[in-house]
Amino acid sequence: MKLENYEVHLPNYSIGDKIYDKIGPVCESYGKKVWIVGGKRALKAAEAKIREYVVKTNLEIIGTAIYGEDCTYATVERLRERPEYREADMVFGVGGGKALDTVKCLCITDDKPVFAFPTIASNCAACTSVSIMYNDDGTFLKPNFFVRPVMHSFIDTEIIAKAPSQYMWAGIGDTYAKFYEATISSRDERLEHFTSLGVATSHMCRDPLLMYGAKALEDHKKGLCTYEVEQVVLAIVVTTGIASIFLTKDFTPDYNSGLAHAVFYALTSYPVIEKRHLHGEVVGFGVLLLLLVDGQMDEFEKIYQLNKDLKLPVSLDDIEITEEQWQESMSRIPDMSDIRHYPYKVTPEMLAEAMEILEKRNCL
């Protein structure tokens, strides 16, 4: 291995039910004029509270905009042409993964200060330095990597506790996937320091979910922000983001993705996935296949039982994919970039065998 010069930018964040009072101390040094961009439901949930705290600062909100529908380059360019964007000193991104990824792609590319205000705990978009880009038809395009994440993420647990529980539910599946994908993708390799940190951090993407996941989801459905909820939010939003930054320092998904995500992205070819199912929900199903392909039967049982307890998918029927669609997907999954760096070649035969084992397990 060669010596090299490199930089790593880690996310700054605040978490709690009153952390918007940190907006002034954190943001005022970046300028005065703020443009708020987010999802429609997210803005309804958080904009009033953001404004309530901004009026106590020297900042000025110059406008609010709904980002769009998907994180596409066309959406980014449409926002870039808005006069508010040119006038703003900084942008507040409000919402879930697609809204935050859109704002990150818009601002970080231009080196404009951007701050994240996640309103759901479904993924790590608020803390990581990548945007997942889609085609205009809603199918997956590619990851767009950046040198740094947002300047600061304000994780308001009161707002997240009031969000629909389905987002945390799906976020759990996306988060434990990080551990399994990182450890398999890095297997038997002599790793760079930053990659080793990412793999080590990924353990905390699984352990808190096995420990607190069921109780956290139960509490969240009641609108409560308990210790268990906070630990799961931290795992989904922060820990996974930090792991991803280390794992993608070289701007590739080699250690940051794997078979579970390859399954998801292959299945986005079918409109039912984007229209009726969530990213982490389908990734959580993909983890079951990942573990079976890899022969990790003990870990498979842990995640299978967690999925059953949380009602995350354990069958094709649960994600409304037909046997014919799965057969077609099996021919495409081995060529997905997510498993380009796998320690072995994944074949359609491996996937078919894994699905057969899963179907037998479902019959017990």
The predicted-structure confidence for 299-323, as pLDDT tens digits, reads as follows 999 999 999 999 999 999 999 999 9
Would you say the C-alpha torsion 215, 216, 220, 224 has a positive or negative sign? positive
The answer to whether residues 36 and 47 touch, using CB atoms and an 8 Å cutoff, is yes
Looking at residue 70, which CATH number applies to its domain? 3.40.50.1970
Please tell me whether residues 237 and 340 are part of one structural domain: yes
| Pairing outcome for strands 152-156 and 13-16 | parallel
Predicted pLDDT of residue 285: 99
What is the mean predicted confidence (pLDDT) over 230-259?
Answer: 95
Residue recorded with tokens 């998904």: 253
Predicted pLDDT of residue 140: 80
Write the single-letter amino acid at 116. A
Instruction: Give 322-339 pLDDT, tens digit per residue.
Output: 999 999 999 999 999 999
| Pairing outcome for strands 13-16 and 60-66 | unpaired
Please tell me whether residues 113 and 24 are part of one structural domain: yes
319 alpha-carbon distance from chain centroid: 19
Indicate the pLDDT class of residue 3, thresholds 50, 70 and 90: low
What is the mean predicted confidence (pLDDT) over 145-150?
Answer: 96
**Res 252 pLDDT > 90:** no
Predicted pLDDT of residue 288: 99
Alpha helices in 111-192 (DSSP H): 157-162, 165-185
Single residue among 128, 162, 196 that ends a domain in this structure: 162
Selection from 328, 331, 325 nearest residue 350 by Cα: 331
Please tell me whether residues 209 and 237 are part of one structural domain: yes
User: Is residue 68 domain-resident?
Assistant: yes
What is the average pLDDT value for the chain, to the nearest integer? 96
Indicate the pLDDT class of residue 5, thresholds 50, 70 and 90: confident
Please tell me whether residues 69 and 139 are part of one structural domain: yes
What is the mean predicted confidence (pLDDT) over 140-168?
Answer: 95
- Domain assignment of residue 76, given as a range: 13-162
The alpha carbon torsion through 201, 10, 146, 102 (nearest 10 deg) reads 90
Please tell me whether residues 65 and 194 are part of one structural domain: no
Please tell me whether residues 196 and 263 are part of one structural domain: yes
Please tell me whether residues 98 and 188 are part of one structural domain: no
Predicted pLDDT of residue 1: 59
Percent of the chain with pLDDT over 70: 99
Single residue among 108, 142, 162 that ends a domain in this structure: 162
What is the mean predicted confidence (pLDDT) over 150-170?
Answer: 97
Tokens of 149: 């994440």
Please tell me whether residues 187 and 140 are part of one structural domain: no
**Rounded CA gap, 345 and 348, in Å?**
10
Predicted pLDDT of residue 2: 64
Predicted pLDDT of residue 240: 97
User: Is residue 97 domain-resident?
Assistant: yes
Please tell me whether residues 351 and 229 are part of one structural domain: yes
Q: Indicate the pTM of the whole model.
A: 0.93
DSSP letters along 208-272, please? HHHHHHHHHHHHHHTT---HHHHHHHIIIIIIHHHHHHHHTTTS-STTT--HHHHHHHHHTTSHH
The kind and range of the H/E element at 66 are: strand 60-66
User: Is residue 36 domain-resident?
Assistant: yes
User: Is residue 3 domain-resident?
Assistant: no
Indicate the pLDDT class of residue 360, thresholds 50, 70 and 90: very high
**Rounded CA gap, 50 and 117, in Å?**
9
Please tell me whether residues 154 and 301 are part of one structural domain: no
User: Is residue 1 domain-resident?
Assistant: no
Single residue among 143, 162, 181 that ends a domain in this structure: 162
Looking at residue 258, which CATH number applies to its domain? 1.20.1090.10
63-69 long-range contacts, Cβ below 8 Å, gap at least 24? 63/35, 63/36, 64/35, 64/36, 64/37, 64/38, 65/35, 65/36, 65/37, 66/37, 66/38, 66/39, 66/40, 67/37, 67/38, 67/39, 67/93, 67/95, 67/98, 67/99, 67/102, 67/103, 68/102, 69/98
Residue recorded with tokens 């994440």: 149
Give how far Cα 112 sits from Cα of 34, 151, 247, Å. Answer: 11, 10, 24
What is the mean predicted confidence (pLDDT) over 242-253?
Answer: 92
Instruction: Give 194-236 pLDDT, tens digit per residue.
Output: 999 999 999 999 999 999 999 999 999 999 999 999 999 999 9
Please tell me whether residues 151 and 291 are part of one structural domain: no
| Pairing outcome for strands 60-66 and 90-95 | unpaired
8 alpha-carbon distance from chain centroid: 19
Write the single-letter amino acid at 165. S
Please tell me the total count of domains within the chain: 2
Alpha helices in 62-132 (DSSP H): 73-80, 83-87, 97-110
Angle between helices 297-310 and 207-221 (to 10 degrees): 10
Would you say the C-alpha torsion 135, 141, 147, 149 has a positive or negative sign? positive
**Res 51 pLDDT > 80:** yes
Write the single-letter amino acid at 3. L
Tokens of 134: 């889609």
